[in-house]
Amino acid sequence: MRADDTIGRDPLRSLFSDRLGRLSIRSGQLIVVLALGWIVLFALVQVKLVVIPLLVALILAAALRPVVDWLLRLGVPAILATWITLLAGVVVLGGIVTLIVFAVRNQWAALATAASEGLDELQAFLVDGPLSLDAAQFEAARAALVDFVTSSQFGTGAIAGVSAAAEVLTGILLVLVIVFFFLKDGPAIWAFALRPLAGARLERANRIGAIAPKVLGDYVRGIAIIALFDGVAIGAGLAILQVPLALPLAVIVFLTAFVPLIGATVAGILAALVALVANGPVVALIVVAIVILVNQLEGDLLNPFVMAQSLRLHPLVILVALTAGTILGGIAGAVLAVPLVAVTWSMVKVWDGPDESLTRRAPLPFRRKRAGA
């Protein structure tokens, strides 16, 4: 190396050798990583009608995989076990959807009317009552909420964003086909993807491949149990209080509970508005108290029992994930955001080695007290 080359490089090397220089290098690397991440997200959003069914199929396959494994242990051939599991899942899910539709299809108009009237009464209380809020601001906020809910941006997603029935049917068929192959050849597909890896990278990939389906399956089964608990508990309270439209309100609570943290709460507000119109403010306040009580029981008792430690995310993380998922994928994005974040976090936890906390569940409070005693 010539002396003049060394002299020319030393100033450039010294420029990046101090703290500010190292910070600038790290900042540039971070900008590149964020830019690449944004490009990947942009590309996925452009093909979301394929990406979202793929993610839905992956989650459903993870939830149904234990059934296939159980049938295989009984000696059932793999292809037959896959067909039995898939058809049983379609029959059960289709039956539930059919029962829900036939049970509440004639009450949706009355429910919308009652909710609108309840919102009117709430507005009258807030404007003419002791709070004396500005009526114009309330109307503007209400109009903005209605416009958002009825806009195409809110409905973008695997189902809500598709206007043609043919595309909806195509998405459903795509989900079923992908679920079938994931159930039948899931381990083989993962093994094929790991062929280029070896050594420590292969071990890391095996850890990720073992924990990710378990986390997804635990999430689907856990959130289904929690949604059923919310729907039955709040629906029973509405029926005891003789609130009209208790059945469709319970169904709405069950469906919205699949959006963690805010879904059941929003449905509870809707139930309180209906109770406000039909039964008065006292019953409406009791409904609000029931919703709060159910949420507390869910968070303190049921959630620790049915969810593994890896799925118990901080509420701030859930809110950020829901916001990002709604922006990127609409309603479907909101539903898929939390399980994807939970899986990502579980992958991070096993990156350098196994982590037993991913399968450990917190003891129930009464068990903890008994152990302490």
pLDDT at site 13? 64
CB-based contact 223:260 (threshold 8 Å): yes
The model's pLDDT over 121-146, given as tens digits with 9 standing for 90+, comes to 666 666 665 555 555 666 666 666 55
Number of helices (H), then strands (E), in the chain: 14, 0
Full DSSP string of 71-99: HHHTT--HHHHHHHHHHHHHHHHHHHHHH
Percent of the chain surpassing pLDDT 90: 0
Query: Is the distance from CB of 335 to CB of 323 less than 8 angstroms?
Result: no
Residue of 248, 249, 337, 322 lying closest to 291 (CA atoms): 249
Q: What is the DSSP string of 39-64?
A: HHHHHHHHTHHHHHHHHHHHHHHHHH
Looking up tokens 């919205």 gives 256
Query: How many degrees, rounded to 5, is the angle at CA 140 between CA 135 and CA 142?
Result: 95
Backbone angles phi, psi at 352, to 5 degrees: -100, 0
- Return the pLDDT at 348: 82
- More confident call, 226 vs 359: 226
pLDDT digits (tens, 9 = 90+) for 199-257: 778 888 888 888 888 888 888 888 888 888 888 888 888 888 888 777 888 888 888 88
Tell me the whole-structure pTM to 2 decimals. Answer: 0.67
36-52 per-position pLDDT tens digit:
878 877 777 777 777 77
Please enumerate in sequence order all residues whose Cβ is within 8 A of that of 277, keeping only pairs 6 or more positions apart, or say none: 114, 117, 118, 121
- What confidence tens digit (pLDDT) does each residue in 252-305 have? 888 888 887 777 778 888 888 878 777 778 888 888 888 888 888 877 777 777
Residue, of 327 and 363, whose pLDDT is higher: 327
Tokens standing for 219?
A: 């999430």
How high is the pLDDT of residue 152? 45
Rounded CA separation 117/48 (Å)? 37
Q: What is the pLDDT of residues 61-80, one digit of tens each?
A: 888 888 888 888 888 888 88
162 confidence band (pLDDT: 50, 70, 90)? very low
Name residue 89's amino acid: G
Q: How far is CA 239 from CA 62, 108, 242, 255, in A?
A: 36, 17, 5, 18
CB of 118 closer than 8 Å to CB of 13? no
Predicted local confidence at residue 7, as pLDDT: 47
CA distance 355 to 20: 37
Rounded to 10 degrees, the C-alpha dihedral 340/346/350/351 comes to: 40
Structure token digits, residue 328: 């990127």
Q: Residue 356's pLDDT band (boundaries 50, 70, 90)?
A: low
